[in-house]
A and B are shown apart, each in its own frame.
Chain A
Amino acid sequence: DAGVIQSPRHEVTEMGQEVTLRCKPISGHNSLFWYRQTMMRGLELLIYFNNNVPIDDSGMPEDRFSAKMPNASFSTLKIQPSEPRDSAVYFCASSLMGDTEAFFGQGTRLTVV
């Protein structure tokens, strides 16, 4: 298995632009998580899905952030409009529902200038 695949690996965008981050979870996994890593706040959970259904989005910082999971093999995290303070590394992770071990992708480093 190729593991959790995220794209792009790096994204540089101008403030105000829309940014879309993509994630392909491990095949067979039915839980998917979006995390954000910053120096100030460490690794924080933004949202997670079970069986493609958003369960808890209380970690999403603002309405500018939205996430979708249209099917079991694909999820997106969108920021519209982006701001410089959104600059961070965004990780997607997946697991079997109820399992404690989550497998992480390599992350997308987002820079908003």
Chain B
Amino acid sequence: DQQVKQNSPSLSVQEGRISILNCDYTNSMFDYFLWYKKYPAEGPTFLISISSIKDKNEDGRFTVFLNKSAKHLSLHIVPSQPGDSAVYFCAAPTPGSARQLTFGSGTQLTVLP
């Protein structure tokens, strides 16, 4: 049972345009969400997060939007740069004290120069 889903395995965008990566979740108890970025041969690195009490969080070129009623979040990258090409994972910590992360399957973003 996948509690965090990323239905698009890949996305290609032109440099300078907006990249939108989507994530859906099924567990209404999730109260925090994170996006990780992963380059080949490296571990995932934290990118940006959002608490369920917010519907938007912005950090430079990266903005995450949360729609709780739809159980959907999205990561916007504007403007996209070739260095943004990576796999992006959506993740949510389990409710309670444990807080281990459940990851989506990832979306490979390719930004074309």
Contact = CB atoms under 8 A, between A and B. Distances in A.
A91 B45 CA distance: 12
User: Counting chain A CB atoms within 10 Å of each CB, which of B34, B44, B100 scores highest?
Assistant: B100
B106 A101 contact: no
B43 A43 contact: no
For chain B, give the interface size range: 20 to 34
A100 B43 contact: no
Main secondary structure, interface of A, reads: strand
B97 A43 contact: no
A56 interface: yes
A93 B32 contact: no
Interface of B: 32, 34, 36, 41-46, 49, 89, 93, 97-106
Interface of A: 4, 31, 33, 35, 42-45, 48, 50, 55-56, 91, 93, 95, 97-107
